[in-house]
Amino acid sequence: MKPSRLFYILLFAVLVFPMYGQIPASRSAQAEEEDITTERDSLPTRSPITPITYKLSESGLDAPVYYPARDSMIIDNVNKKILLYGKAKVTYQEISLEANFIELDYENQLIIASGYPDSSGTLSGFPVFQDEEQSFDAKRIRYNYETQKGIVYDVTTQQEDIIVHGGKTKFLRGDAQDTTANDILYSNDALFTTCTLDEPHFGIHSNKQKVVPNKLVIVGPSNLEIMGAPTPVWLPFGFFPITSGRRSGLLFPNDFEYSQTWGFGLRGVGWFFPLSDHFNLELRGDIYLKGTFGLSAASTYRKRYAYNGNFRIGYDSRQIENLSDASVSRNNSFSIRWSHRQDRRAHPTNTFGGNINIQTNNYQSNVFNNAQNVLQTQLTSNMTFTKRWQDAPITFTAAFNHSQNTSNRQVTINFPDLRFQTQTFYPFKKKNKGGNKEKWYETINMRYNAEAKNRFLATDTTLFDASTLEDAQFGVRQDIGLGSTFKLFQYFNVSPNGSYQEVWQLKSLDRTFDPTITVVTDTLFNPDNPNDFEVVYDTISYGQVNTDTLSGFRAWRRYSAGLSVQTRIFGTLNLQKGFLRGLRHELRPSISFSYSPNYLDPDLGYYQDVQNDIRFPDQTQTFSVFQGNIFGAPPRSGKQFALNYSLNNIFQAKVFSKADSTVKKVKLIDNLVVSGNYNFAADTLNWSQVNVRTTARFFNRITTLGFNAVMDPYILNENGVRVNELAINNGGGLVRFDRASLRLTSNITVSKLRAIFQGKEEEVVTDVAQQQRDRLSNRNREEEDFLSLFENFSISHNMSFDWVKRDGETEFDISTNSINCRGLIQLTKNWAINIGNFGYDFVRRGLSYPSVGFRRDLHCWEMDLQWQPTRGTYTFNIRVKPGTLDFIKIPYQRNNVDGRNAFN
């Protein structure tokens, strides 16, 4: 409770007004200046009007005071009192005092407010004080405006989320003339809590408190009470700043932990810094007695109509003790996460934003145990600055991007990644056609792209080593595209095209053959006679290819040209009766010609033929001098003059729905594509392999099927190599089966099940949290079915089949077969089961990192349990809900190090 200065003015004003009859308290203020001069209305006279001056009391106020009462108002001039009954209210500017009874005793300089018995004799209408900043309730208020001292009985007030229940409070008002003086409140028998009930479930009870409003609270010995019963938890004293607004302060630990490996520890203890009106900073640490620690710095920032984002950097250092030799080592890991968003109204042409997520030494898997962090194997980053020119079709971007695999710990960083590109433009198109028909050459379009990139390749443990900088790759790539599209014979789209690409790189490879023979020896002893032995010589290499990295500018160029023709053919079948009302087949054939030169030509210098065995001088191996560079190498193919073909088939059906007597379109097969080519420039193996792929969706898109097959028109020799003999000429079919794969992916939710069985459309949820709150609020108003418990729950199933032809036999393999479920099962309004991940891998025959738990809502408290049996980790908490007092908790947990030791 923090009675403001305005509150004291109000109490003082209500008492003072009746004592000065010149300015009635119930009338509006007649002047705002100390001297007021007015002219009296009178008949015209020859003598000048004499001004009359009124002198206001020094105790006068700046605004009127209103004090209505619903029942009655009694003015007792004998005892010098004013009594207000029934919803009495005293209002001064923005503050007010309400009660069923208010007594103004201006002889004893007292104001008293309290409740008053209603018709049943029950006290009601207790005092309520309210202003712009705060409000509080009390059973009785007594204030002496002369001594500026008062007493409030059984007061209830709220400061942010802290609710204070006070027994008896005395307050002293500071001297208004002294700017250094403060209002001070002394209280006893007070309870601090965040529980909103009249009888709180918990609170911190203190017998003595001193409050300096809007500054600080000092409390004496305090005791934690739960359900009105004291606990063994005591605080000898307390010092709490209550300054309104953002301020620096201590961040209480998130957890108190005892680890058998690390000892006693605190998790998440730190300090909060409000750096400015737009930036916050949190510094936190995890500290354990045996030397393990972690540090983190997190910042959130926001500027309206400009930008917003968050940043977190974390460092974890774990002390590892080797019990066999008593040695001690450290496992250090590091993490950087940054998310930045620019408001679209911030700048018309410049944008900056993206996400960065980089870690070393499996930081998130070591620090966190939840399924999302443990199972995430791929980390990516992309932070981009984009500049667009309004008066030209030009765009420039500068980006930082990275990809990281947490399984093999490989990290790829591209920085800087600079790109300059133009939009598609038509150099021969006329601006003013004047109603003339477009010429064929006006459809010619061009596009230019340029990219300069620097790439770092490392592991997450060597990412910041000097060798990573030394091995960086740099390159520049430029692309020019030329194309056009026009109609031929009304039904055919003809698209000629051409492209040119040039790549500059600063490193290349030079390979040479070393004819040195490598021989290893081994001595074999006779176990019956140590002096009897034999030396065996084994040749393991007949020379080797050495690779040298050359620094210097190298370039390669790639160009191609082509012509494609596409059309669409439709076939329909209409039926008048039954469930099936029609079938539709759409065929999209495409034929194209393409040309590209022979990049294996020695005169170009893109590839080297190097001998690899001293025994066979004519046996060589082809290598690219640009292998492994940032933009790759030219195509490893000879001259290409190919006819490419593609047949895309789409199948649809019309079905009759009895539910609403309408005919609906249903997709049977999205795309069934058959493609390949014939190379006129090749000496042998002119026909390419035939690729067949398709996609289909079933059960209202619950299940997606993906199929891919490869057929070959040529046969294989005894070594499994394609030879220039057609399968049809060797007693086979038109093509030979080579390999195929089938993927089935299913994702089941309650919304999709309702769409199938009830004929409803699947609900599109944009705010899952709001949907959950709405569903809980409606639980008491309408009966829900069993499926409603699983509204936020999903089940996914993935299955992969592979067929491969080997040695004339077709091998079948199920490479993937797993089922996973995750989500929240809301059993009741207060009970919920949380499944972070739970699944089974039928190929590995094991659980896929189960993570389960439950949550119990206890009004102002909450209880939750999270368990990861694969790691042997768990977390159990009974704690106050998030807020000022959320440091009150009973945590019990086991970290992943203790979990692993428990299994050993």
Token couple for 256: 């108190």
pTM over 0.75: no
Q: Classify burial at 89, counting beta carbons within 10 Å of its beta carbon; exposed 0-12, middle 13-18, buried 19 or more.
A: middle
Task: Measure Cα distances from 530 to 524, 525, 596, 878 in Å.
Answer: 10, 6, 69, 74
Cis peptide before 416 (omega within 30 of 0): yes
What is the C-alpha to C-alpha distance for residues 7 and 11, in angstroms, rounded to an integer?
6
Q: Which residues contact 872 (CB under 8 A, 6 or more apart)?
A: 894, 896, 898, 899, 900, 902, 903
What is the C-alpha to C-alpha distance for residues 631 and 618, in angstroms, rounded to an integer?
32
Give me the pLDDT at residue 155, please: 83
Give me the pLDDT at residue 188, please: 81
What is the C-alpha to C-alpha distance for residues 752 and 882, in angstroms, rounded to an integer?
35
Give me the pLDDT at residue 134, please: 63
Give me the pLDDT at residue 648, please: 95
* Residue count (the chain): 904
Give me the pLDDT at residue 52, please: 52
Give me the pLDDT at residue 884, please: 79
β-strand 123-124 against 529-566: which pairing, if any?
A: unpaired
φ, ψ dihedrals at 775, nearest 5°: -65, -40
Give me the pLDDT at residue 55, please: 57
Token couple for 621: 């191996």
Q: Classify burial at 41, counting beta carbons within 10 Å of its beta carbon; exposed 0-12, middle 13-18, buried 19 or more.
A: exposed
Token couple for 63: 């605004």
Token couple for 575: 């039926």
What is the C-alpha to C-alpha distance for residues 58 and 53, in angstroms, rounded to an integer?
16
674, β-bridge pairs: 647, 692
Q: Which residues contact 527 (CB under 8 A, 6 or more apart)?
A: none
What is the C-alpha to C-alpha distance for residues 9 and 13, in angstroms, rounded to an integer?
6
What is the C-alpha to C-alpha distance for residues 150 and 166, in angstroms, rounded to an integer?
14
Averaged over successive runs of 10 residues, the pLDDT of the chain (904 residues) comes to 39 37 34 35 44 55 76 87 87 81 85 87 86 75 79 82 83 57 76 89 87 76 89 80 71 83 90 90 93 94 94 93 77 94 92 94 88 88 94 92 91 94 88 73 92 92 86 94 90 94 94 90 80 81 91 93 95 88 94 93 92 89 91 88 94 84 85 94 91 88 92 90 90 90 91 67 49 50 62 90 88 93 88 90 88 92 91 90 84 85 72
